Structures are given as C-alpha cells and as structure tokens.
Structure 1
Amino acid sequence: MLTKQTIDTIKATVPVLEVHGLAITKTFYSNLFNDNPQLLNIFNHTNQKKDRQQTALANTVYAAAVHIENLEAIVPAVVQIAHKHVSLGILPEHYPIVGKYLLAAIKEVLGDAATDEIIDAWAQAYGVIADIFISVEEDLYKAAENNGGWRLFKDFKIAKIVEESDVVKSFYLQPADGSKLPAFTAGQYISIRAQVPNQEFLMNRQYTVTEGTEEYFRISVKREDDVNPNGVVSNFLHASEVGTNVQVSAPAGVFTLVQNEAPVLFISGGVGVTPLQAMLKTMENRKASFIQCARNERVAAFKETIEQQVAALGGTYKAVYSDTEGYVTKEQIAAVLEEGTEVYVCGPIAFMETVISSLVELNVPAEKIHYEFFGAAMALQIRTSK
C-alpha cells in the first residue's frame, strides 16, 4: 500500500507529466535500448519509430498518476495492455529493468525538479503498478495454457496462401509439431515473430486471427509500400512461400463481440476489416450491418463474403471508396444506425477519429462504441461539438 505522502507526491507530478511525459518516455526508450539492445527482439520497431510506444507509455504513466488513489480505475487499460504484453513475451524479469530506466529518464528530463522525494515516490508507485501488470499477465499466460495454448512463442509453418484482394493475402499457419490449436474469440490477435532478412533483430507484429480451427490459424495481411517501416513483417510474409517457418504467440486481445441481443454496426477502414469480419462470421439470429471503407473495390478484402453474411442477418452493407468518395460521412452512418446499436470500429487512427467523432455527434453512448488500434494504444482526438 502506498502512504498518503507518496500518493500526494505522485499527484503533485500530474501537471509535470502532462507537459513532459512524452519527453520522459522518449528518453526512457532511447536509453533502455542503447544499454539493452537484446530487448529489440521483443518490442515492435515500427511503434518505436513512429513514437506510438512512447506516446502509449506516456499516457499510461499519466493515467496512473491521475488515478494513484484508485488504481482500479485503470484496470481496463491494464488488461488491454497486458494482453499485448503476453502476445510479445513480456515477463516479470523485464519489469525491474523498465523501472530502473523509467526513473532515470524522469530524473534526466526534469533535472533538479525531480527531487529525491519525487523519485522515491515514483519508485514505490512503479513497484505497485508493476506488480499489478505481472499478476494480470501471469493469469493470462496460465489461462492460455489451460485452454490448450502455450506461453511465449511456438514454431509454426505457412501451410497455405490465398489472395483476398490486390493487396491482401491470407496465410494459413499450422504448428510445426502438428499439435492441435486452442479455441480463440473472434477479434483476438496473435503475434508473428520472424528473422527477416537484412534485419539485425527479430521482428514482430500482431495480426487478427481472421479464421481458425484446431488445425490452423488464418491471418490476412496487407502488403505495404517498401518505404513504410510498418511493413517489414507484412512484406516478409507477402514474399514468403508455403513452408516458411515463423513463430506465433497464443491468441490474445479484448476487442471482441459483446454478447447481447442488440443490433451491431461494423465500420472498417482498410485492413481494419480483419477483426470485424471475424466477429461477423460468428453471429447468428442478431441483426448486423457493415460499412466497409477502402481505397477502391480492388483492395476491399472479404467484400463478397461480408455482403452475403450481412444479408443473411437482415442488415445493410455499404462500401465507401476513398478514391471517389473520401471518408464515410456522418449521414451514411446515421442511415444504418439503430437505437441501442453496438458499434465496432477498426482502421487507421485518423479514420477512427473521424468515425467515432461522427458517432459521438449522433449521440451514440460511449459504452456502445468499441474500437481497436493497430499497435500501441493511443488517445484519440474525438470531436464533441455538434
């Protein structure tokens, strides 16, 4: 338990973290990897290059400071992050290393303003928060094992490759040892880890399980431009052949379908269609509509299958192509939105900000809006004006 003095000290740092949080986390990651380059085998390199991981950590540290008196308030965020951690192989022994470099970064950025009292208070707070993460993640590791899964990574091979559109291929992955695969919940993801040619460290990226059985997991991957650092693993897969070996984590993630009788509206942008079509495939006796946004019809993966499934569920399907229409509009969303609808949104960050802002303006309650990020979670800039 934290003392009142420690809590008060942490709360006093909230305004400072609001201003300097990102500088602290950038300094933290820079120093951490400079002294511990082996950790680059675990972390997503793209999220580092684009400051996504730094921003996500800054948000987490800030939220912890704001809610230091009631850390239960950040449990949903902790659970979401913990799922990502277990899919990347984060272990208890990593937390003391992180704590050491995080405290050093606070001291380096804030200088004399980071008094011994502040550093000591954050050391105590970090210990409590780290214990929460370690406990939640251990529960997730055990749950995966009890479900027939595994801890950390398992060797798989690419058993089949199917072209879904001009830019998307599906890869059917089977365990190298021929073992049976665990059940997963539609919307969950796995991490793919591989030794990519011309890369010093292992590269990893998370992909939605778009279909699966006891025999295989299917992931559906967009080919990226060669200049896009986000495409290292994706383009490695696109260049791979049947029989290529990769390492795979057990399914994880909390972006899954709420089980009730309310109608559902899925709104996808680009390859954000992958978790949404996985959820749609599991639905029965429940109305579902789908707005699929893509650059054009040639790159709209799963379009025909989604149309058929939506029709069978009594809903409406609409395709919106950005090369002719731009982003989906508030009016287009309103045309298929019913009272009480559960709305699921997935796609690039700017796309989700636009869509969720429209949903807010249409008075959709926050608890009815569900969304998932690619990579590290960051705060969305949502318009609330009407």
Structure 2
Amino acid sequence: MLTPAQIELIKATVPVLQAHGVDLTKHFYKRMLTGNPELRHVFNHAHQVHGAQQQALAAAVLAYAANIDHLERLGGAVRQIAERHCSLGIRPEQYAIVGRHLLASIKEVLGEAATPELVDAWAAAYKQLADILIAAEQSIYNEQTTAEGGWSGWRPFVCVNRVKECENVDSFYFRPTDGGAVPAYKAGQYATVRIHSKALDLTQPRQYTLSCPPGEGVLRITVKAIHGRAGAPDGLVSNHLHTHVHVGDVVEFSAPTGSFVIDELKAESPVVLIAAGIGITPMVPMLEELAVKNPLRRVHFLYSTQNLAHYPLKKEVDATVKGMPNAAKGVFFTEPGEDDHLGEDYDAVGRITVDRIRSFCQDPDADFYLCGPIDFMKEIAAGLKQIGVIAPRIHTEAFGTGGLE
C-alpha cells in the first residue's frame, strides 16, 4: 500500500516521464534483455528494433503515474494489458525480473534525481501494479483453462487447410494435434501463434485475429505477408507462415482472448463495423456471428482497401450481408483495377471519411467498431467524436503493440 507521501512522489515524476519516459524504457529493455536473454523469446523483436515496445511501455508507465491516486480510470487498460500478457504466457514470477530491472533503470537513467525515497516509492508502486496485473491475468487464465476445450500455455495445432484470399493474404485453418475440442471463443478475439526463426535463432509470438466465427472446430487466421518498405524489414512471422506453413505442419497457439467483441447487452442498438486493409479480419466473424444471433439487427459494414485484388474474405462479407435484411455495406477502393466494377465490387472511390460514414449510416445511437492502421483509426475515432459520438460507443482494435492513446 502506497503512503500519501509516496503517491505525491510518483505524481511528481509525471513531467520527467513525459520528457524522458522513452529513454527510460529503452534503457530498461536493453538492460533486461541483456541480463535475462530468455525473455527475448517473449517480446516482439521487430517492435524492439523500431521502438514501438519502448514507446508503448513509456505511455503505460506515464498513465499509471498520472492516475496513481485514481486507478479505477485504468480498468480497461489493465484488462487489455492482462489479455496481451496471457496471450504471451506471462507468469507471476517474471514480474520480479521486470521490477528489478525497472528500478535499476530508474536509478541509472535519473542519476542523482533518483533519491532513495523516490526509488522506494516506485518499488511500492510497481508492486501495487504487479499485484493488480497478476490478479487480472490469473482470472483470465482460470477462464481459459476451465472453458470446454480450453487450455493454458502453448498448445500444438496442425494446419488442415490453407486458402489464398487475395494478393499477399492467405487463410490458415488449424486443429489441435491432441484431437481435443476448440473453445467457444468470441467473434473478434485473437490468439497468439508462436514460431521459431532459424535466421534469428529466436522464438517469436504474434497475435492474429481468429477470422471465422466460433463453433467450426478450427482456429482460422487470415494473414497478410508484410513486405517491408522504406528500409523496414519484412514481417518475420507473417512471412514465415506464408513460406513455411502448409497442410500438415504444426505451430503452437495460446488460448483465444481479447475484449474487441460485440457488446451483447446492446442487442437493439445499431452496429457499424469500419475496417481498412487487413483490419477486416475481426469484422468478418463479428458480422457472421451477428447474422446468426441477431439477424434483424441494423448493421453497417464499411471497408476500405486498394482494389478487388486486395480484398480478402469478400465472399463471406457479401453472403452474410445479403442474408441480413437490415444490413448494408459500403466498400471503398482507393485504386480501383481496370476490371473492378463500381456497384458490384465496390461502392465508392477513395477512403472512408466521417462525412461518408454519415451518408452510409444515419444511426446516432450506433456503436462503432474500428480496426485497421493506427492512423486510420485515430482519424476515424477523432471524426466520430467531432460529430457527437461519445467515446464509450467507439471500440478499437490495434494489432501488435500500442493503441490509440
């Protein structure tokens, strides 16, 4: 339990974290991964190289410090972090390692400013946060292991089918090698795939949305092969899957998790699903699940991509919307192909904007679900707020590390 004096010390470090938080987290990760190299197999190597992991941790530490006396404000963030940790198999004993390196980094980066009192305050604050996350994660692990077909840790799955969806995008279908059941996950949730890279001599995890609705006895992931641009490397795991995983090959999965799901308590309110690029993957199972559970619900599906050659899962979208009398879709192509047909393959040229959302959807009490590139979601979320959509009605899913805040 933090004392009032310790709370004030933590709050006083907020300006320092705003100015030097990323420097601190860079030092922390370098220190920890050097001292405990086994943890290199837990973290996304690409996010370490490009700094996304460091920036995400700096933002999280800053948010924690700024709300140290109002932790209830962090409830949603805690749940999201706990889900990510469970998807990676993080265990309670690893928090001691992180804490040791974090406190040492505070001393080494802040120097004389890291007084014994400040370090003691951060030690108490870290323990408080660790206890909160460990409890949240244990609750998720309990949910996962007690569910029918559920498990904890890593479970081997064999690829039973592979389908090319469009250019650079394939769907992979997996069943458990043990012959057991697959848990009844929720549409929109994700699972983590773990592969071993011989090139890096490194085991690497990646989260992928489960792109088919539950109940089909398989885990399907729809993966875009990421080709690096402007000096950025190719996607390690996505390209490994495209190059090396075929029918009969085995990969490991963690249990499904995630909070980017349709709110079942709002069965009467309209739903607007807005996606760009590979962000379509959670939207398709959401759409299909709505068609089964609530086929009369008002649903708008808006999607932006280059053209027909870059439109994965189109058949599922068309068939599902066609079977829902109160559903409509608006598809936007930024670079229509010569053989793409307006009114058949797509509905408009250009990108999704808030004005276009208003023309396709006139429901002011709708819930909006966004998935796609971070900049795309930030732009759409900001625009929705400007036209009066309240924040609790805007739901987002960010692939990989970080989020919209």
Q: What's the TM-score bracket when you normalise by the shorter of the two chains?
A: over 0.9
CA offsets 1:98-140 (integer angstroms, 9 cap, x no match): 1111112222222111111111100010001101101110111
Q: Among the aligned pairs, what percent are the same residue?
A: 40
TM-score, L = length of structure 2: 0.90
- Aligned position for 2:12: 12
- Aligned position for 1:252: 257
Q: CA deviation at 1:347?
A: 0.5
- Aligned position for 1:38: 38
Aligned pairs for 1:109-124 (under 5 A) are 109-124=109-124
Moved more, 146-155 or 125-134: 146-155
Q: CA deviation at 1:232?
A: 1.0
Query: Aligned partners of 1:230 and 1:47: how far apart in 2?
Result: 13
Q: CA deviation at 1:303?
A: 1.9
Aligned pairs for 1:205-354 (under 5 A) are 205-211=206-212, 212-213=214-215, 215-225=217-227, 228-229=232-233, 231-239=235-243, 240-259=245-264, 260=266, 261-283=268-290, 284=294, 285-313=296-324, 314-323=326-335, 325-337=349-361, 338-354=363-379
Q: CA deviation at 1:230?
A: 6.0
Instruction: Note if contact 2:162-2:171 (Cα within 8 Å) is conserved in structure 1.
Output: yes
Q: Secondary structure at the match of 1:174?
A: strand
Instruction: Note if contact 1:266-1:290 (Cα within 8 Å) is conserved in structure 2.
Output: yes
Q: Secondary structure at the match of 1:184?
A: coil
CA offsets 1:42-61 (integer angstroms, 9 cap, x no match): 11112222222111111111
Residues 349 and 131 of structure 1, relative CA distance in 2, 3 Å threshold = same
Aligned partner of 1:38: which letter?
A: E
TM-score, L = length of structure 1: 0.95
Q: CA deviation at 1:333?
A: 0.9
Q: Secondary structure at the match of 1:25?
A: helix
Aligned pairs for 1:2-81 (under 5 A) are 2-81=2-81
Aligned partner of 2:330: which letter?
A: K
Moved more, 210-219 or 190-199: 210-219
Which ranges in structure 2 are unaligned for 5 or more consecutive residues? 337-348
Q: Secondary structure at the match of 2:222?
A: strand
Query: Aligned partners of 2:119 and 2:24: how far apart in 1?
Result: 13
Query: Aligned partners of 1:318 and 1:59: how far apart in 2?
Result: 35
Aligned length: 380
1:191 equivalent to 2:192? Answer yes
Query: Aligned partners of 1:326 and 1:61: how far apart in 2?
Result: 38
Runs of 4+ with >3 A deviation: 226-230
- Aligned position for 2:403: 378
Instruction: Note if contact 1:59-1:378 (Cα within 8 Å) is conserved in structure 2.
Output: no
Aligned partner of 2:182: which letter?
A: L
